[in-house]
């Protein structure tokens, strides 16, 4: 990195301003993590120089493209007509940034997000990630950009039908995925996470999943615990998104009149990734206790390792695990974070 750039650009706000000129995805249809990781790095204690270095390395290694040119303005009365059209990224971003400034973060989410709940899987749930970090930062432009990202990459999965639930155990939903007819021979278009999600969700036997879980005030905690167990037992890349995604959803849910449809839609996404993870059995209670008892470094050391990493998923997982442990008080978050960044075997 040129020394002049380090002097000119110092601090999160300035780098974010530059990063917003980049598209939300880069070839081939992969999520651009820059704004979210910069916010996480800043909160983990990274220096302005490290933020600059991290951004420049990521931008160059992934050849981040600019936001595509506008096509036509999104009209408020017909804003849903172009959902899922990636060519309208600039149009949707401009529309939702303006709406966020007009309504405020809380009202814009309550007004628009419920109509997009079935598209939560778009870009492998990373619009939810960007929205969560925008909410965390209380940043109108990031929230508006995230809503535009969600709209442009909208990926509808089977909607809820209102059928009666048959279990209150999130783990049972995941375990039963292996019984779906055709699940062993599904064919995603590519190995992209959201292509896998789309292919599994298209199986007729997958449709009932979104209705199966009985929801109560304790369900988000149980989903978070199951997500943590899934990742602890596999350390799988797809399972990592179950932990981070529960963090993102927890940040956004206070801004929703009814968060239940979003938790259902998110768990539907995690269920669709079970084949890609390898149909894992969740660890037993005894195995989880053994993992919790492992000696793991203090958070300060884990944060330093995450800050030093060029892997966006190291930073994402460590920051989410840190924040989730503060809420759920489970020391297993620290263990999996240390494992992710290579501090324990």
Question: pLDDT of 215-271, one tens digit each?
Answer: 999 999 999 999 999 999 999 999 999 999 999 999 999 999 999 999 999 999 999
| Helix %, strand %, coil % of the chain (to 5) | 70, 5, 30
Q: What is residue 274's predicted lDDT score, i.e. its pLDDT?
A: 97
Q: What is the pTM of this model?
A: 0.95
Domain boundaries, the chain: 12-153, 170-277, 285-341
Q: What is residue 10's predicted lDDT score, i.e. its pLDDT?
A: 52
How many Å from the N-terminal Cα to the C-terminal Cα in the chain?
Answer: 33
Give the rounded percent of residues in the chain with a pLDDT score beyond 90.
96
ω into 28 cis (within 30 of 0): yes
Question: C-alpha distances in angstroms, 227 versus 171, 231, 270, 293, 324?
Answer: 9, 6, 9, 19, 11
Question: pLDDT of 56-66, one tens digit each?
Answer: 999 999 999 99
Structure tokens at 77: 């009365």
Q: What is residue 2's predicted lDDT score, i.e. its pLDDT?
A: 36
pLDDT of residue 7 exceeding 70, the answer is: no
Q: How far is CA 118 from the centre of its chain?
A: 15
Taking the CA of residue 228 as centre, how many other CA atoms within 13 Å lie in the half-sphere pointing to its CB?
29
Give the C-alpha separation, 87 to 90, whole Å: 8
Contacts for 148 with CB less than 8 Å, ≥ 6 apart: 24, 89, 91, 92, 93, 94, 95, 96, 97
Question: pLDDT of 109-133, one tens digit each?
Answer: 999 999 999 999 999 999 999 999 9
């Amino acid at each position: 990195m040129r020394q002049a750039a380090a002097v000119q650009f110092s601090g999160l706000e300035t780098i974010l301003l530059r990063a917003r000129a980049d598209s939300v995805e880069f070839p081939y249809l992969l999520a651009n993590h820059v704004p979210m990781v910069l916010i996480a790095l800043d909160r983990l204690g990274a220096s302005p120089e490290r933020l600059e270095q991290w951004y420049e390395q990521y931008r160059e290694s992934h050849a981040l493209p600019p936001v595509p040119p506008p096509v036509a303005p999104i009209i408020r009365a017909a804003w849903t007509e172009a959902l899922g059209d990636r060519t309208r990224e600039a149009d949707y971003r401009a529309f939702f940034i303006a709406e966020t400034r007009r309504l405020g973060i809380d009202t814009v989410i309550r007004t628009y997000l419920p109509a997009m709940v079935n598209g939560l899987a778009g870009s492998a749930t990373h619009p939810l990630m960007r929205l969560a970090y925008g909410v965390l930062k209380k940043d109108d432009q990031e929230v508006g950009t995230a809503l535009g990202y969600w709209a442009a990459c909208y990926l509808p999965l089977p909607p809820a039908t209102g059928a009666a639930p048959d279990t209150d155990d999130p783990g049972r939903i995941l375990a039963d995925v292996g019984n779906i007819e055709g699940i062993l021979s599904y064919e995603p278009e590519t190995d992209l996470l959201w292509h896998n999600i789309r292919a599994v969700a298209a199986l007729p036997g997958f449709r009932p999943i979104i209705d199966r879980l009985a929801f109560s005030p304790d369900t988000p905690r149980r989903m978070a615990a199951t997500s943590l167990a899934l990742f602890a037992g596999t350390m799988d890349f797809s399972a990592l998104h179950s932990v981070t995604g529960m963090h993102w959803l927890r940040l956004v849910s206070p801004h929703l009149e009814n968060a239940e449809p979003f938790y259902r839609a998110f768990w539907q996404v995690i269920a669709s990734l079970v084949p890609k993870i390898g149909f894992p059995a969740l660890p037993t209670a005894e195995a989880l206790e053994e993992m919790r008892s492992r000696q793991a470094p203090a958070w300060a050391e884990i944060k330093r390792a995450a800050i030093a990493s060029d892997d966006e998923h190291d930073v994402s997982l460590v920051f989410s695990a840190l924040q989730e442990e503060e809420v759920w008080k489970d020391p297993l978050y620290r263990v999996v974070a240390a494992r992710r960044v290579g501090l324990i075997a």
